[in-house]
Amino acid sequence: MPLFWKKETMTDGTDIEIWVEEFLTRLLELAGLDVYIEEISIDDEENLTVQLAGPDSARAIGRDGQVLDAIQQLVVAGAVHGKISRRRIVVDVEKYRERREKKILDDAKYYAEEVLETGRAVDLPPMNPRERRLVHMALVDMQGVTTESIGRDDDRYVRILKQ
C-alpha cells in the first residue's frame, strides 16, 4: 500500500476494507455460496480488489460472469450508499476477470487477423459493455480493421470489419 494512501472510511466511521469484508461475507452466506475472501488489495491508483475462492467458485462466477457481476454491483451500491464512490471496487473469483479479459483480447486479435486475410466481417458473441470496450480498445490501432457495436441490450456484440 503506498504511503500517500489515506485510509477511507464509510459514513459510520468503518474502514472501507472492513466494511467490504463484512458485507461480502454476509452476502455470500445469505446466497449459500461456499466461498471466502482470499485477499483484499489496493493498487497504486487506490482501486480495491477482492479475490474470492472456495468450493463454490464456479457458482459464484455464474454463466459468463453474471453472478460475479451481480455480487460486484451489490458491493459497489453499498459503498456508494456509504459515501465511498471515488474508488473503484472490483470483486473477482480466482482471477476469473483476468482470464476472461485475456481470452477476449486473444479472440479479438485472432478474428481481426482473420478479417484481414479473408476480407469478411466477423461478429463476436454478445458481451457486456466493459468487454465490448476491451475489444474496441484492443483493435483501435490495428491497421486495416475497424470495430462497431451492434444489437441491443443483452444481445449487443462487436463486429470486426475490414477498413
The residue among 68 and 80 whose pLDDT is bigger is 68
- The amino acid at 109: K
Phi/psi for 32 (5° steps) reads: 70, 25
Averaged pLDDT for residues 23-52: 92
Pick one of 3.40.640.10, 3.40.1190.20, 3.30.1370.50, 3.40.50.920 as the CATH number of 98-162: 3.30.1370.50
Closest C-alpha to 60, from 89, 24, 88, 86: 24
**pTM value?**
0.76
470483486: which residue's cell?
91
pLDDT, mean over the chain: 87
Give the residue extent of every domain in the chain: 16-94, 98-162
Instruction: Spell out the CATH class of 16-94.
Output: alpha beta
Closest C-alpha to 36, from 46, 45, 26, 44: 26
Per-residue confidence band for 84, with pLDDT thresholds at 50, 70 and 90: low
Q: How far apart are CA 106 and CA 108, in angstroms?
A: 6
97-112 residue pLDDT tens: 999 999 999 999 999 9
How crowded is residue 145: how many other Cβ atoms within 10 Å of its Cβ?
21
Sheet (strand 122-123) strand order: 122-123, 157-162, 145-150
- Would you say the CATH fold of 98-162 matches that of 16-94? no
The set of cell numbers assigned to 84 is 465511498
Residues with Cβ within 8 Å of residue 7, at least 6 apart in sequence: 15
110-155 residue pLDDT tens: 999 999 999 999 999 999 888 999 999 999 999 999 999 999 988 9
